[in-house]
Amino acid sequence: MIPANYDEVTEFILSGLTDCPDLQVTLFLVFLVMYTVTLLGNFGMIILIRADLHFHTPMYYFLSHLAFVDICCSSVIIPQMLLHILEEEKTIGLSGCAAQLCFFVVFGIAECLLLAVMAYDTYVAICKPLLYPVIMCGWTCGWLVVGSYVVSILHAVTHATFIFTFSFCRDNIINHYFCDIPPLLAPSCSDTHTYEVVIFALVSINCLSTMTIIFVSYIYILPTILRICSPEGSRKAFSTCAPHLLVVTMFYGVTLFMHLRPSSTYTLAKDKVATLFYTVMTPMLNPFTYSLSNSNVKVAMKRAVQRMQ
């Protein structure tokens, strides 16, 4: 993956979030707390789903994988970011940069695909309840998750193959706090036009296909919910859909802003702030979005607390 003409480039220098020394300790504490909350929230969600038999259903099976992906995505970025905040030399080796980029793409694309899978699962559960056990059987759920990871890995391999055949002859400074794709292109002296087209195509196909699945699913879901006569049934259906819609809005809002906007509006400074939403904020907020909006999760948490007392 790293050809011979890369011998002179052994490491990159990450500029980090800010150059202001007065903010270093504050940023370290803030992100340390956020990362801790992310780990506790997502691990707690996984443990709750595995421990409570009421959650041994396809919906919560997918949710546990979403929590796992959020843990991995934040763990790829935040620990190194915390280390670099306190260090004067924010360096990362070429192989480390390649690994960080690949894992970030894997878990980012996996989250995108899992959100689409969860929308389809919700559609089947609400619109075809009698066929739900047949359609969303264990074999189907397993292959949907495996397929999400396989597609994600293929995306990562494609990006890494392109980026690390480029020459970095200008300098080795990356104006970002981790090895993301746009900042890596900036110091390259190679012609990146073809790769930029590939990025746009891959992001467009991935986002449009998954968003179409989500959009079409909810076109059928919402009228079905409105036709439910029982207030209890309608409330339960809405409590199932609401957290997923909130997570989808947060995730796709930043993704579309990052990758599908005019190049004239692009600045690395804005992207540093924007990427904090899906590398730090979204993984932290997802478990709380599901637990606070989903009555079943709140009941299960109460049962778990009562067992511990």
Q: In the β-sheet with 173-174, what is the strand arrangement from edge to edge?
A: 91-93, 11-14, 173-174
Q: Which two three-digit tokens encode residue 177?
A: 């706090």
Summarised one tens digit per residue, pLDDT across range 1-29 is: 444 444 456 678 888 777 777 778 888 99
> Per the structure block, which two tokens stand in for 4?
């011979």
Q: Given this model, what pLDDT does residue 185 score? A: 77
3-state class percentages of the chain: helix first, strand second, coil last, to nearest 5: 80, 5, 20
Q: Give me the percent of the chain exceeding a pLDDT of 70.
A: 81
Q: What is the pLDDT averaged over residues 104-125?
A: 92
Confidence of residue 298 (pLDDT cuts 50, 70, 90): low
Indicate if the pLDDT at residue 141 is higher than 90: yes
Q: How far apart are CA 141 and CA 58, in angstroms?
A: 7
Residue 1 lies in a domain: no
For residue 67, what are the β-bridge partners?
A: none
Q: Give the span between the Cα atoms of 188 and 169, in whole angstroms.
A: 6
d(CA 185, CA 196): 9
pLDDT value for 223: 85
Whether residue 2 lies inside any domain: the answer is no
Task: Give the SS3 label for residue 113.
Answer: helix
Tell me the chain's radius of gyration from C-alpha atoms. Answer: 21
The crossing angle, in degrees rounded to 10, of helices 94-127 and 193-226 is: 20
Tell me, yes or no, if the pTM score tops 0.75: yes
Residue 90 falls within a domain, yes or no? yes
At residue 152 the predicted structure's pLDDT band, cuts being 50, 70 and 90, is very high
Confidence of residue 198 (pLDDT cuts 50, 70, 90): confident
Dihedral of CA 57/60/65/68: which sign? negative
Q: Is residue 3 part of a domain?
A: no
Mean pLDDT of the chain: 81
Residue 51 to residue 171: CA distance in whole angstroms: 51
Q: Give the pLDDT confidence score for residue 106 in this predicted structure.
A: 93
CA angle 289, 117, 251 (to 5 degrees): 45
Burial state string for 103-113 with b = 16 or more CB within 10 A and e = fewer than 16: bbbbbbbbbbb
Output 257 or 193, whichever has higher pLDDT: 193
The answer to whether 160 and 1 are in contact (CB under 8 A) is yes
Residue 143 lies in a domain: yes
Q: How confident is the model at residue 183 (pLDDT cuts 50, 70, 90)?
A: confident
Number of structural domains the chain divides into: 1
Highest mean pLDDT among 33-37, 230-234, 240-244: 33-37
Measure the CA–CA gap between 264 and 255, rounded to whole angstroms. 17
pLDDT band at 213 (very low <50, low <70, confident <90, very high): very high
In a domain, residue 255? The reply is yes
* Distance separating alpha carbons of residues 258 and 125, to the nearest angstrom: 33
Phi–psi pair at 93, nearest 5 degrees: -70, 160
- Higher pLDDT among residues 273 and 7, named by residue: 273
Residues written for the chain: 309
142 lies in a domain? Answer: yes
pLDDT at site 67: 93
- Round to whole Å and give the CA distance between 70 and 68: 5
The CATH number that applies at residue 257 is 1.20.1070.10
- Which strand (E) or helix (H) includes residue 129? none
31-44 tens-digit pLDDT: 999 999 999 999 98
Torsion of CA 60, 62, 66, 68, to 10 degrees: 80
User: Does residue 246 form part of some domain?
Assistant: yes
Structural domain span for residue 194: 10-308
pLDDT above 90 covers a percentage of the chain that reads: 25
Confidence at residue 147, expressed as pLDDT on a 0 to 100 scale: 95
DSSP designation for 19 = -
CB 11 within 8 A of CB 93: yes
pLDDT (0 to 100) of residue 148: 94
Q: Which helix (H) or strand (E) holds 11?
A: strand 11-14
Residue 201 buriedness (CB in 10 A; 0-12 / 13-18 / 19+): exposed
pLDDT at 134: 92
